[in-house]
Amino acid sequence: MQSRTIYLIGPMGAGKSTIGRMLSRELNLPFLDTDQEVEERCGADIPWIFDMEGEAGFRQRETSVLEILQGEPPQIIATGGGIVMKEENRRLMVSGGFVVFLQTSVATQMLRTAKDKRRPLLQRPDRKQVLTDLYKIREPLYRQTADLVVCTDRGSPRQVIREIVEAVQGG
């Protein structure tokens, strides 16, 4: 029986939502995506929030969602790729559960986000440079926040799920 919330962190295109949904079925726990939760609570989509409030406004909304989720029964939470940029967000996740960094190369991110129209940070011609720069800044933060690092570049989602389940259940 899984008694702690599991937070999935990692860059855009790491597979946080896909893995999160599968993990929620596997462990029979509710699934929540902080991007979706921010959008539902705000009544607007992420591109609109970035336009109107800037990235700082969006990060603040992520913090509010993490605060609300503290103390709720265990669940699987997929987070936005930049959630680790705020110290408070890192602290909330570390104190609130088990944190898994889904590690993915920029090459795989490029493939998985090729047709993306919804992520404001990627709506530029130099997508590869953006992803590379973000990864340099964020990778140490993902690592320092995580209880477990799992690579999602190779292997099937099933294998990723198995690694996470073994780690959280002490197998």
Residue 100 is a binding residue for ligand S3P (CB under 6 A): no
Q: Is the separation of the CB atoms in 6 and 23 below 8 Å?
A: yes
Q: Among 12, 5, 26, which residue's Cα sits nearest to residue 73?
A: 5
Among the listed ranges 86-94, 113-121, 123-131, 143-151, the one in contact with ligand S3P (CB under 6 A) is 113-121
* Residue 141 amino acid letter: L
Nearer of residues 80 and 96 to ligand S3P, judged by Cβ: 80
- Alpha carbons 52 and 32: distance in angstroms, whole number: 25
Q: How far is the CB of 113 from ligand S3P (least distance, A)?
A: 8
CB nearest ligand S3P: which residue?
Answer: 80
Nearer of residues 130 and 165 to ligand S3P, judged by Cβ: 130
Cα separation values, 33 from 19, 56, 70, 120, 165, Å: 11, 19, 14, 17, 19
- Alpha carbons 58 and 156: distance in angstroms, whole number: 32
Q: How far is the CB of 81 from ligand S3P (least distance, A)?
A: 3
Residue 77 is a binding residue for ligand S3P (CB under 6 A): no
Residue 15 is a binding residue for ligand S3P (CB under 6 A): no
Among the listed ranges 20-28, 76-84, 90-98, 149-157, the one in contact with ligand S3P (CB under 6 A) is 76-84
Q: Which phi and psi (to 5°) does residue 157 adopt?
A: -55, -35
Residue 119 is a binding residue for ligand S3P (CB under 6 A): yes
- Count of residues touching ligand S3P (by CB under 6 A): 10
